[in-house]
Structure 1
Amino acid sequence: MNCTRCGFCLPACPTYIQTGGNEASSPRGRIALMKAVADGKKEPDEEVEAQLNECLGCRACEPACPSGVNYGHILEQARAVIQEHKSHSLPIRMLRKAVFQWLFLDRSRMETVHRMRWMYEKTPVQKLMRKSGAFRMLPGEAAIMERVMPGAAPPKKAVRPPVQAVFQDNPIKKVAFFDGCLMSTMFTETNQNTLYLLEKSGCEVVVPDTQQCCGALHAHAGETDGAVKLAKQNIEAFEQIDADFIVTNAGGCGAGLKEYPFLLKEEPEWVERAKAFSAKVGDISTLLVELELPPMKLEAELVTYQPSCHLENVMKEKGNVEKLLRSIDGVTYAAMPDKEQCCGSAGIYNLVQPEMAMKILDKKMTDVRHIQAGIIVTSNPGCLLQMKAGIEREGLTESVRAVHIVDLAAEALKQAELAGTAAK
């Protein structure tokens, strides 16, 4: 009801832009559809579901809205209602159950899948699959995503020890690290670099061993029960640590954690605990800017940044990645044109809505070519894979690389340390 139909959200919406101004593909249009269903004027049919599914959930419309409409909450509630009443085919039911009720509800299962992926890469199977062209039979851009995924770390590195910690004699802050289910298995090196940077910043770091997936994927897909279950487990895990700051290195996960008070709003015994938890959650870029890293250095390079939508639009932590980049000796920072526009990753959006995702990505890569950046920095794993896919699609693998801000900062810090040692 707060939507005044002013239209300020329209130029902020990637799907509205890509469809040439289709009203139904805008936040204003989708709110009108949802309201029509709620008022009994329209059935929640395939047209409504298709429009809600076409939405990236990037929430760029929220900062643009003068009325303060929390579109993301409305979208997730609408998707949950549709899933509650929808009859899926047997294959879809099995797939959703495997993903939402099995895989992402238990970290140990993620680690099992990671071990299987590691074995797949270490045997001839991967080469045979790629040579056979079997991946081209997969939907959307799954074949490109398979090529750009980082290599699987040895299983021992991807399995969290009972308690992982970095201790300091006189710590500046005590930090609890949310290491994420995909980050700790698929992006193990980034997590290790996160611990390295926090240590160099003078933090004492503890990684709770009972934490689980953040639940954002469940919430976005209308699987509210799973999201609630994971939220409660994570709150309990981090309550055991009297930390000053709960740090994340993935914008999507951080936003999911920040949303726990809304997710648990109907449960009085949990909502205050959720508020106390989410108040401590923040991105590593924010903490590193606050604490100030030692000097960092890289070879001269033109660097641009594709922001995480959820880091900026939900966590409201804007500008800190750019501050980190500008603090690195040798880096020339060039702002990505229309950087506030989503890259098209949006969780698994690039797999389930590949046509729209690739249209959005192609625009991003046109901008990269325009500014001639050699490095594209991201602050979220999905964005990182999406930009790597763009580099692959454009044939720029020899001249452009995509890297997480944590990995670039760690690289720059180590290079500065080596330079300092050599000077001595």
Structure 2
Amino acid sequence: MSAQTVETIRTSTLLRLATAGSVDDGKSTLVGRLLFDSKSVLADQIEAVERVSRDRGLETADLALLTDGLRSEREQGITIDVAYRYFATAHRAFILADCPGHVQYTRNTVTGASTADALVLLIDARKGLLEQTRRHLAVASLLRVPHIVVAVNKIDLVDYSQERYEELAAEIRATAASLGVADVHPLPVSALVGDNVVDRLGNTPWYEGPTLLELLESLPTADEPDVESFRFPVQLAIRPQGAAISEEYRDYRGYAGQVASGVVRVGDPVVVLPSGRRTTVEGIDTADGTLDEAFAPQSVTLRLADEVDVSRGDLIAAADDAPEVTQDVEGMVAWLGDGTLRPGATVLLKHTTRTVRAKVKDVVGRLDLDAAELVSADELALNDIGRVTLRLASPIAAEEYVVARRTGAFLLIDAHDGMTLAAGMVGDALAAVRHGDLTASYAI
């Protein structure tokens, strides 16, 4: 990879962010204020919001309506699903996942935060840190979200008190540290008034830090390529067939997918897992032609020098740095199912592009959000975070999540209805974050 290519990726202007918070903390209003004050809303959208606000008897526009797109949400005055918004400023483009605040929708927060470069977490200045706040911090820590921004909202309802803000900021930092969050940025805001969201209105002269938008524009992204461990989950084996195929492509055999990490070059030795067959890369193809090298997160087709049996779910990896293949997995899971998870349960485990049957051997423990430690438990209920051991029907090439985010993540799926039951991280992620083992986890 050329130095210019690496530098282009490192200076990417796209930031993926997610928002979360407890119910009624003003999250939707904050997002609406961010969109409105950054002039990222079309005139007809503003008119629609003003019209609905008048119908509700409000004197001013309810900016929360800019994010609550579903009719059922508007009628209830709550956000119940992850809403994605795209906006841009002069300095950066953003993809925003607005996650619901209700505790029963923590599963949606996991979805929104799983690919985020930054999480904006709201707390009410009057209420302080709640159990849901700690749960969101724990999820962010386990998912290795690189940057956590904690907006102490409704600062206007505590008379813009510096003392109250500093008290909460200290508690935020202490709680984040206990959960292994390495990068946390508290700041006081008033989403309703608009102070410190995009503009400074002078109500907090004691706060000398950046506004929310200034902070988001300055945070580094997590798109720097991992130039070492090449990983390529195979999505599709391509072998054109039929009379209409030209002679040039009659013997074509390629393997399509997205580079999960690292760099691959023509001529590199690779290994196909779980079979363990070794070969070299003969060619790298795209819709626009051939390449000499490919890197994460490019989608390409690899051609191999030897006729190796490769199919969807296999992993092509660097031959000299390949992960181990295993049928026994231990990891942390965020349980998202409505029922409970108990030992003996049979589920499907989806790891990269591979799906296998799995049996829950043991529920090792559950994360106590107040003590930030694992406590004994024999089952996991909705929104619990805990450690489990699994026995798989066939092997996977899994790695520790703290080392490789893409190949260290998995899902547990209901084999009967296909519903997602849990988001999982291979290894003891909780112990890793509490011991500060974060070196590689942010180089996604």
TM-score, normalised to structure 2, is 0.26
Q: Which has the higher contact order (CA 8 A, sep 6+)?
A: 1
Greater strand proportion: 2
The structure having more radius of gyration, on CA atoms, is 2
TM-score, normalization by structure 1: 0.26
Structure whose residues are more often helix by fraction: 1
